[in-house]
Structure 1
Amino acid sequence: MKYISTRGNVAPIGFIDMFLMGLGEDGGLIVPESIPTVSGKQLDQWAKLSYQELMFEIFSLYTNDEIPADDLKRLIQESYAGFTSPDVLPLTTLNDSLHVLELFHGPTFAFKDVALSFMGNLYAYVAKKQNQVINILGATSGDTGASAISSVRGKEGIQICILHPNGKVSRVQELQMTTVQDDNVLNLAVNGNFDDCQQVIKELFADIPFKSKYHLRAINSINFVRILAQSVYYFYAYLKLSEKARENGVNFSIPTGNFGNIFSGYLAKKMGVPIKQLVLATNENNILERFIREGVYKPEGFRSTHSPSMDIQIASNFERYLYYFVGEDAVAVTARMEKFKQEGQLTFTEAEVARIQQDITAYSVGNEECLNTIRTYQERYGYLLDPHSACGIAAYEGAGRKDDGAFVSLATAHPAKFDEAIRLIGIEQQFPERIQELFDKPQQQVIVDNVKADIVARLEGFYRVYQ
């Protein structure tokens, strides 16, 4: 298995080199040269595997034995040892057709832990094996930063800097990032929104001399390992369903802002999971919904919502989907992304929109609908959703084909992380101890303006130079 760029100007590389490169050096996103497929017979044989065993089988299709099997198994076991559920990701049934896959049982109570707990351990493994200093740089709309910091805090040979939009994450998300006192962690609170933070990250990773000097590594979903790790839970959810429930395939409703979570489902489908419908749930920052419904990919005015982790306009993983949509034609991808850069939008023909809608259905959830969904499901099932998970459920209600078999909606965060929204509908909740104790800890962060030079100066004062 070799890896290439969506823009065609990265020579085929192996798994570890792909992991370390993160963003393609030509500005594209890294993808496998070919996607391995899993037969129905093989899926049936995997039905009794634990989450850790299943992840080992899937990753083994991609790693080229660059990580010895025993080492890979150990990394996986260590990554999920701290999850509070013995199943890692429990599947909760709410009614005959609707199931909720709970992705929030990791250290920071968010779905990002599923991939980043593993990626942090893999970075530490590579740093030790190659005797390298690894400087991780990422942007977050809330959950990625907390999870990434948790995964590498205090680890030898690794430093991490996370940019987050100042005042635009939940209080718990902010505390999870900024109460970490380890010397290898730097938090930069940027006076801007997530797209501003992400743009700086993309520019720095595209600056090859700067990237090489500081040996920058990516933890965001621009890193294909993140996508691959997330694809595992689509396999797992399908296999956790009863044989009767999955005999006609399965449908997923997926809250997403950066297109990474739903692209992971798209990858799982291409690998062989019999997924019938992928429903993309957005909030009022609905560029992705408009792309799927109308064929226009164009950022509009930024809106703050009750689901801040999805307050994103420009979705990094859109380019990966575009690559497969145009038939893996890197020249066509480059032309379209250059057009987007120059004109600020992309438009698709009526025939192309019809093809897009064969892959993905979309639904945009307003603030009031989000809160109403939380209230309704608490009253109907005694099940408390966070605002992001509520968007997934609302999309299932609004766009899911109920007569088309089992539906799995992804619960992406614990509701305690977004208590500000929960309290708006008069619901009081008990915080988990690990969240409650955050409120008594001192914070450590640096507030900076959305000025690239100022951010670079902070990075240069923090990172060790790679020799």
Structure 2
Amino acid sequence: MEFISTRGKVEKIGFLDAVLMGLADDGGLLIPSEIPQVSASKLKEWSQLSYQDLAYEIFSLYIGEEIPKNELKQLIAESYATFRDPEVTPVRKITDKLYVLELFHGPTFAFKDVALQFLGNLYAYISKKQNEIINILGATSGDTGASAIEGVRGKEGIRICILHPHQKVSKVQELQMTTVHDENVMNLAVKGTFDDCQGMIKDLFADTVFKNQYHLRAINSINFARILAQTVYYFYAYFKVQNADEQKVNFSVPTGNFGDIFAGYLAKRMGLPVNKLILATNENNILERFIKEGVYKPGQFHMTYSPSMDIQVASNFERYLYYLLDENAELVASLMAQFKKEGQITINQENLAKTQELFAAHGVMGAECLQTISAYYQQHQYLLDPHTACGVAAFEQCNGSDEVCITLSTAHPAKFNESIERCNIEQTYPEQIKQLFDKPQYQQVVDNDQDEVVELLKKFFV
């Protein structure tokens, strides 16, 4: 399998080189040169597999012979041995129409663990095999940081620096990142928004001289390995829910950066018979506006009850744009340049119709989010975190009468007790989270100033 850039200015490269490059050197995002196709008979075979074996089959389509089979199986086994549920991502039936895909059984109680336990082990594998220096640089709206740090903390040959928006993540998210005291970990709390942090990361990766000099590697979902790992649970969940009645199966996905829902789009393009992808967001609803109106334009930033989706500029949107525009890299590059200059992209009615054929969207306001948490706790004795609640609210708005829906549960509710308390619900913290409150924190608060961040990186990534 070879990988190319959405902007068309990068020579074809292999999977491992794509992992190391992260953001494409032309500023675009790396994607497979062609999407592997999975036949109906192959899907039937896969439906009987364990999560780990299914991951192996899907990963193999993109990795090829670059990692020997036995070593890839070992990487997968190590990555998912850290999960508390033997199914890795179990599916719970809530009603006849609604299922919840629990993605929070990893070490940091968030869906990012599914990809970042694998990517962390993959980076360690590459570092050892190729004698590569791995300096990981990432930004987080809350969950990526803790998952990434957990995946590589203490590992030889790897350093990691994570930027997060100061006082704009939940307390548990902050503690999960900043109570880690390993020498290879640095946390920077930026006085700004996640978009500010993400913007710095993309600028630094686009500076190929700086990127290569300091051996920068990406942990955010700009790295295709993240998308690949997340694709697996769409197949796994579909196989668990699809029944003899052959009802149409939708997925409702809480998303701010378009990465998790793009993984679902990739699964559908591979041949998984998904009906609709329902995009759930909050008051920061740039993606909802795009799907409903065809206009991609950031609005005013809002702090919400679902802070991991407090994002205005979605990194992975460019990957979808590439396929929407019939893989026209030159047009994608032109539109992204226009977006950087003018702050807006508008698609024509034909492409809007194509988008709406596959996607539905609902922006969930704060009151609706809390109301959904309360209702499902009272009626079904199931506690939703605020992001999953947005997904369930979007299911209620967008699901058809002859359809079933799998809502992605992206985090354990204990990570967002600030929102749960507003519903007058008292929850019990898992022991691993309870212990965080007694630990000292290690972080540096910095201005929203790229030069200041760069100086700190130069000292850390020596």
Q: Distance in 2 between matches of 1:4 and 1:109?
A: 33
SS at 2:315's partner residue?
Answer: coil
Tell me by how many angstroms 1:262 deviates: 0.3
1:68 aligned partner: 68
Q: Distance in 1 between matches of 2:350 and 2:11?
A: 33
1:300 aligned partner: 299
C-alpha distance after superposition, 1:44-92 (max 9, x if no partner)? 1111111000000000001021000000000000001010001111100
Matches within 5 A, 1:231-270: 231-244=231-244, 247-270=246-269
The residue type equivalent to 1:441 in the other structure is K
1:129 aligned partner: 129
C-alpha distance after superposition, 1:138-194 (max 9, x if no partner)? 000000000000000000000000000000000000000000000000000000000
SS at 2:8's partner residue?
Answer: coil
Q: Distance in 1 between matches of 2:61 and 2:416?
A: 37
1:330 aligned partner: 329
Q: Does 2:351 align with 1:378?
A: no
Tell me by how many angstroms 1:342 deviates: 1.1
SS at 1:82's partner residue?
Answer: coil
Matches within 5 A, 1:30-429: 30-244=30-244, 247-404=246-403, 406-429=404-427
Q: Does 2:453 align with 1:455?
A: yes
SS at 2:236's partner residue?
Answer: helix
Q: Distance in 2 between matches of 1:5 and 1:349?
A: 23
Identity %: 63
Tell me by how many angstroms 1:288 deviates: 0.3
Is the Cα–Cα contact under 8 Å of residues 102 and 411 in structure 1 kept in the other structure? yes
C-alpha distance after superposition, 1:308-363 (max 9, x if no partner)? 00000000000000000000010010111111111111112223211110121110
Tell me by how many angstroms 1:242 deviates: 4.7
1:13 aligned partner: 13
Is the Cα–Cα contact under 8 Å of residues 247 and 402 in structure 2 kept in the other structure? no
Q: Which segments of 5 or more consecutive residues in structure 1 lack a partner in the other structure?
A: none
**Partner of residue 436 from structure 1, selected from 416, 434, 437:** 434
The residue type equivalent to 1:67 in the other structure is I
Is the Cα–Cα contact under 8 Å of residues 14 and 64 in structure 1 kept in the other structure? no
The residue type equivalent to 1:215 in the other structure is H
Q: Distance in 1 between matches of 2:195 and 2:418?
A: 23
TM-score normalized with structure 2 length = 0.99
Tell me by how many angstroms 1:249 deviates: 3.9
Is the Cα–Cα contact under 8 Å of residues 248 and 402 in structure 2 kept in the other structure? no
The residue type equivalent to 1:210 in the other structure is F
C-alpha distance after superposition, 1:416-457 (max 9, x if no partner)? 000000001100000000000000000000000000000001
Q: Which segments of 5 or more consecutive residues in structure 2 lack a partner in the other structure?
A: none
SS at 2:62's partner residue?
Answer: coil
Moved over 3 A (4+): none
TM-score normalized with structure 1 length = 0.98
Q: State the aligned residue count.
A: 462
Q: Distance in 2 between matches of 1:60 and 1:440?
A: 43
Instruction: Kindly report the root-mean-square deviation, in angstroms, between the aligned alpha carbons of the 2 structures.
Output: 0.8
Q: Distance in 2 between matches of 1:61 and 1:402?
A: 36
Q: Distance in 2 between matches of 1:111 and 1:312?
A: 17
SS at 1:244's partner residue?
Answer: coil
Tell me by how many angstroms 1:243 deviates: 3.0
